[in-house]
Amino acid sequence: MSTWSMALRQSDYYWTLYRRTWKGSVFSSFLTPLLYVLAMGVLLGGFVEADPSRLEGAPSYLAFVAPGLLAAQTMQTAVFETTYPVLSATKWQRVYFGMNATPLRALDIANAALGFVLLRLVLIAIVFVAVLAPFGVFVSVPAAIGALLVSILVGAAIGMPVYAYAVGVPNESSFSLIFRLGVIPQFLFSGAFFPISNLSPALEWLARLTPLYQGVDLTRMLSLGTWHTGPALVHLAYLLVLLVVFHRVAVRRLAKRLAF
């Protein structure tokens, strides 16, 4: 059977898992985007006076910050879904070992798990875009759809290396470092809240290397209609390479973990 058909055979498990736990994500999925937009875009944005040339073409601070919040939200969701739930499947509940006792391979198990993460990202992104749309932050419907798709890619690309790491760790002690040294710095300094040109030259160079910056800049281009083909292609290539390379790493590390 094909790889994807083997992954789809696990859909009953993930559907049952989501059906039993979805209520715990209702608050964060629906209310958090609205609070983000109101607090950072509307309330704080009311105190920010800057011309569009200083906000990368955005007519207001709300229009500037909204695409960054969209990309950052999918990043945070992806990192959470690829840390503790993955360790639970390899150590605490050992679900992956049960799956490995069937004809499923490490590749099939990883694809199904990542497919579930992708579904979570789609739902989060749709809700966030639906919350943002009434505020007029997207120049058109195609712009909103493009920003939604890019934000999903951002979450998948950032979540993949985290998944590759999580399938091989013995315990959760290092996850706090991922959030403190990876998620939070990117959230604050990757262009979501202010142009990275405000940073020192060294920090600006470092910020440009982060995957979230690639996603924020690309999402903002689509949202505002300020498309630049060269930088956009660089951003897309960066995120796709990150996704593909660490997918291979993840499968190898998972196969090694399941061998013991």
Give the pLDDT band (50/70/90) at residue 6: confident
DSSP string, the chain: --HHHHHHTTHHHHHHHHHHHGGGGHIIIIIHHHHHIIIIIIITGGG----GGGTTT-SSHHHHHHHHHHHHHHHHHHHHHTSHHHHIIIIIS-HHHHHHTTT--HHHHHHHHHHHHHHHHHHHHHHHHHHHGGGT-SSSHHHHHHHHHHHHHHHHHHHHHHHHHHTT-SSSTTHHHIIIIIIHHHHHHSSSSS-GGGS-HHHHHHHHTSHHHHHHHHHHHHHHT---HHHHHHHHHHHHHHHHHHHHHHHHHHHHHHT-
Residues 194-248 pLDDT 10s: 899 889 999 999 999 999 999 999 999 999 998 899 999 999 999 999 999 999 9
Instruction: Report the amino acid identity of residue 44.
Output: L
Mean pLDDT, rounded, of the chain: 89
pLDDT for 99 equals 93
**CA nearest neighbour of 86 among 177, 165, 5:** 165
Average pLDDT on 124-133 reads 89
Average pLDDT on 176-181 reads 92
What whole-number percentage of the chain has pLDDT above 90?
A: 64
Whether pLDDT at 40 is above 80? no
d(Cα 5, Cα 217) in Å, to the nearest integer? 35
